[in-house]
Amino acid sequence: MEPNSVPQNSVVDQEAERIREDLLRPLFQTTWRFYTGVSVLVAIGLAGMAAFIYQTYAGMGVAGISRPVFWAFYITNFVFWIGISHAGTLISAILRLVNATWRRPVTRCAEAITVFALIIGGQFPIIHLGRPWLFFWLIPYPNERHIWPNFRSPLLWDFLAITTYITGSVTFLLLPIIPDWATVRDRATGCRKRIYRVLALGWQGTPREWHRLETAMHIMTIVIIPVAVSVHTIVSWDFAMALVPGWHSTVFGPYFVVGAIFSGIAALIVAMALLRKFLHLEEYLKPIHFENLGKLLLLFSLLWVYFVFAERLTVWYGNETSEMAAFWSIQRGKFAFLFWTMVSCNFIIPFPILAIKQLRTITGTVIASCTVVIGMWLERFLIVVPPLEQKYLPYDWGSYRPTWVEITIMIGTAAGMILFYVLFVKVVPIISMWELKGGEHTETVPAEAPVVVGGRGSGLENTLPSTNS
Amino acid sequence: MAHRWEMIIDLDRCTGCEACVVACHAENNIATVSPKEAARGRTMHWIHVERSWEGEYPNIRVRFQPVLCQQCDAAPCEPVCPTYASYHNAEGLNAQVYNRCIGTRYCANACPYTARLFNWFNPVWDKPLNLQFNPDVSIREVGVMEKCTFCNQRITVAEIHASAENRELKDGEVTPACVQSCPSGAMVFGDLNDPNSQVSRLTRLPRGTKLLGELGTSPKITYLERESSHGAE
Amino acid sequence: MDAIYGLFPNLDTARRALSALRTGSPELRIRQESIIVISSEPLEGEGLCWNEQRSFMPWLAVVGGLIGGTAGYALAAFTQRTYPLPTGGMPIVALWPTGIVIYELGMLGAILTTIVTFLITARLPRYRNRIYDPEVSYGKILVGVTGADRDLGAKVKQRLQEQGAEQIKEIMGHQE
């Protein structure tokens, strides 16, 4: 469906119009690649769903978990996806708060990752239940069962925290989309125009509306950061509150938050690279963005190493019998291969790539990010499973091996995440048009280009290019 | 007066015969599992006897220790259950409410004794075992946690009889299935709040230890270590 | 509603037009509130960004947070006291876990309050009685007047023309 073409009798700023056309093109043009990609993702997602239905019907026994490893792949994936969701909060909220203007083309990609990662991650507490059809018993509402959920349980804190975070993230994502949907509404035709008219909520663009929007975003920015920190801290307390040697550690709160932001940045870099390639956004997602994010990734890699070292050193130094069993099985025993792969993926490989400026290119950061994503998944797995395999009493020790059910569900949910993201890109401009300043996207300003006024620092930095007098 | 149930297990008398394990299965409608599932760690023994060797040949001694839910006073499995399926009842028992359990298995992870068991499948009994269910105990469906309840059904029945006859419970009137079936009398069950009961006497013996007592879970089962054991814990 | 407006190509011309309308408002018999500006990006400058009541939305969010936190405490304390089930030797209403509940529901209260306040004060959603021109989404800035006197319509148009409007348009009657 072709958008409305530029009206006659008007002099349009060519540069700004080209930006809008570039960013709106994915909404109006669809290639065969989209259709094949979506079909494949839907098929994989359905396979995952089928595996879950089978598990519900046949019993949790079809999965690989057993006594004593009562939590494994599902909880690993739960923590992993909630961790990935911290991408948006860091980039969007923290960088917005400190007025880092380079983040503008990146914010919506990041916020979308947050929302969808939360939706996917939020499936796993239901998937891992023994009686998943009763998951709604965790919702605190007056009911006929004469009982309320237990607020002393970390799982309830999980429920409240993730509900709050998802509400905040969806708000954070949707509010700035409204003006862009208004633009799409103006360009669309037919029934698509009607849909976008409803979605745009009748947005006009009066100074009142802009002011309210920006104030609301400012409040959300300040609120979402402590919420995000609390969410992954509370997720980490699912482990830290239990008397399991290797879990009952006070460092888990900050350790998990740092790991979450770490994996979030990596996921964002990968997403940005894919968007750049498939949507031809080379002029908007530029090497400088990857370089800046690469520096942040380096910082968090070092922070992650710091936390891992601090935790392991403390355990090793204390030499408490129960804790050392899991410690050695991770470092030298059964899980050594996974442990050292994780260290390589999270630090040994990314560190030189991200630290050396010549290697911190788009390709370099993407490679580093891919290894980080794998490494962080391994880290979650190594936190959940090895301590459960070797708890206090040796006659209770056991082992874990995943079955096809768990693997299929895991791949299915990953496909679901990518599918949601791909559909999102088709419905919303993935780079916020109104936040992107007119001429800022070009690094070198040609002589005849309009002068761009910017950097006011008040937050209201968007100005139209003014003509040279 | 409220009861406080406690169990004493004398490791000097335990012969490792596992009659308690079988009796518990029979009393509480616990299913057995196939050898394949057992190899995967899916057995459902509410009480299990653990054997360990001490010393070097030819002075080897074997030690048998029945391990079951310790009914801890500061049970780590209780606060973590999101639906209050695991809570502390007025008689000091850690109660497991099957109907409230949605199977998060957090309690099983939190229990340091791994005393809790999960129904991985709907239980199945080979014929003719399907004819010998105990009508006082419900059968748990798939997805629900279960564990030793100190045969709460027997406690309840005894209390009902005692209050119907307008008297207190006598010491030894209530015995869980494992205590009842132990041939060497290694297990004793009774009311700690009764100063004259056998458990009150035995629990004060210097041989008495608690399993993983240093963790602060306040377990209610006192193990009487063997008289001449080496390095008893 | 009736409206007369001009579409301006950039911020400078729009700003001049706006001040021309403002200074000429007694003569043209237009009220300050009926001057409208519409743009596809937030603008800077006097009269273009809304300065009045700048700071009440954050305070409402704080109030929403306090209400949420109180609701969190009430939820935890009331439900736990009504159906008291001791767990793990902890008190019935434990201090530290209740703190977490208070915090999370407080944040949720702040978020929900912000959403509601935004929608109400920005007067969204509103699908009727809107002045809008699709050219705005091509970067033009719309400056105009609603409900202007018919006779003075020509004078308004002249003012707008003077300040460099590319197009002048007029809307008669109900516009959706």
Dist CA A343 CA A330 (whole Å): 12
Tokens of B192: 């700690």
Structural domains in chain B plus CATH codes: 5-224 (3.30.70.20)
Per residue in B68-124, pLDDT tens? 999 999 999 999 999 999 999 999 999 999 999 999 999 999 999 999 999 999 998
Whole-number pLDDT of residue A83: 96
- Sequence-separated (6 or more) residues with CB below 8 Å from residue A377: A76, A80
Whole-number pLDDT of residue C40: 86
**C89 close contact with B: CB closer than 8 A:** yes
Contact (CB, 8 A) for C17 and C167:
no
The DSSP code sequence of A130-152 is SSGGGGGGGS----TTS----TT
Q: Span A163-191, mean pLDDT?
A: 93
Taking CB atoms and an 8 Å limit, are B75 and C89 in contact across chains?
yes
Taking CB atoms and an 8 Å limit, are B75 and C86 in contact across chains?
no
Task: Give Cα separations from B133 to B26, B122, B129, B138, B182 (angstroms).
Answer: 7, 15, 8, 9, 21
Helix (H) or strand (E) holding B9: strand B5-10
Whole-number pLDDT of residue A12: 61
pTM (predicted TM-score): 0.91
Task: Give Cα separations from B157 to B49, B78, B151 (angstroms).
Answer: 28, 25, 10
- A445 pLDDT tier (thresholds 50, 70, 90): very low
- Sequence-separated (6 or more) residues with CB below 8 Å from residue B206: none
Chain C closest CA to A155's CA: distance in Å? Answer: 11
**C15, C78, C100, C171: which to substitute to probe chain A, counting the most A Cβ within 10 Å?**
C100
For residue C88, the chain B residues in CB contact (below 8 A) are: 74-79, 88
Per residue in C66-91, pLDDT tens? 999 999 999 999 999 999 999 988 99
What are the φ and ψ backbone dihedral angles of A173, each rounded to 5 degrees?
-80, -45
Taking CB atoms and an 8 Å limit, are A60 and B142 in contact across chains?
yes
Please provide the average confidence, as pLDDT, over all residues in chain B. 93
Whole-number pLDDT of residue C53: 55
Whole-number pLDDT of residue C15: 85
Whole-number pLDDT of residue C115: 95
Domain boundaries, chain C: 3-50+130-171, 56-121
Q: Span A264-288, mean pLDDT?
A: 93
Give me the interface pTM, i.e. the ipTM: 0.92
Taking CB atoms and an 8 Å limit, are A242 and B109 in contact across chains?
yes
For residue A11, the chain C residues in CB contact (below 8 A) are: 9, 166
Taking CB atoms and an 8 Å limit, are C111 and A168 in contact across chains?
yes
Per residue in C23-61, pLDDT tens? 877 777 777 778 888 888 888 766 565 555 566 889 999
Task: Show contacts of A358-362: CB within 8 Å, 24+ apart.
Answer: A360/A290, A360/A291, A360/A294, A360/A295, A361/A287, A361/A290, A361/A291, A362/A273, A362/A276, A362/A287, A362/A290
Residue B205 is which amino acid?
L
Taking CB atoms and an 8 Å limit, are B81 and C86 in contact across chains?
no
- Sequence-separated (6 or more) residues with CB below 8 Å from residue A177: A108, A428, A432
Name the residue of chain B whose CA is nearest to C86's CA. B88
Chain B closest CA to A364's CA: distance in Å? Answer: 41
Q: What's C4's DSSP letter? A: E
Kindly report whether the peptide bond that precedes residue C125 is cis, defined as omega within 30 degrees of 0. yes
For residue A214, the chain C residues in CB contact (below 8 A) are: 42
Q: Span A74-103, mean pLDDT?
A: 90
CATH topology of domain C3-50+130-171: Alpha-Beta Plaits (3.30.70)
Dist CA A228 CA A166 (whole Å): 10
- Sequence-separated (6 or more) residues with CB below 8 Å from residue C125: A201, A202, C119
Chain C closest CA to A164's CA: distance in Å? Answer: 5
Whole-number pLDDT of residue A95: 87
Residues 46 to 75 of B: which have CB under 8 A from any C CB? 73-75
Taking CB atoms and an 8 Å limit, are A218 and C37 in contact across chains?
no
- A265 pLDDT tier (thresholds 50, 70, 90): very high
Whole-number pLDDT of residue B81: 96
Whole-number pLDDT of residue B129: 86
Structural domains in chain A plus CATH codes: 33-140+154-427 (1.20.1630.10)
Whole-number pLDDT of residue A437: 60
Dist CA A399 CA C137 (whole Å): 61
For residue A218, the chain C residues in CB contact (below 8 A) are: 58
- C20 pLDDT tier (thresholds 50, 70, 90): confident
Task: Give Cα separations from C156 to C30, C145, C153, C169 (angstroms).
Answer: 10, 8, 5, 11
**B47, B48, B83: which to substitute to probe chain A, counting the most A Cβ within 10 Å?**
B83
Taking CB atoms and an 8 Å limit, are C88 and B74 in contact across chains?
yes
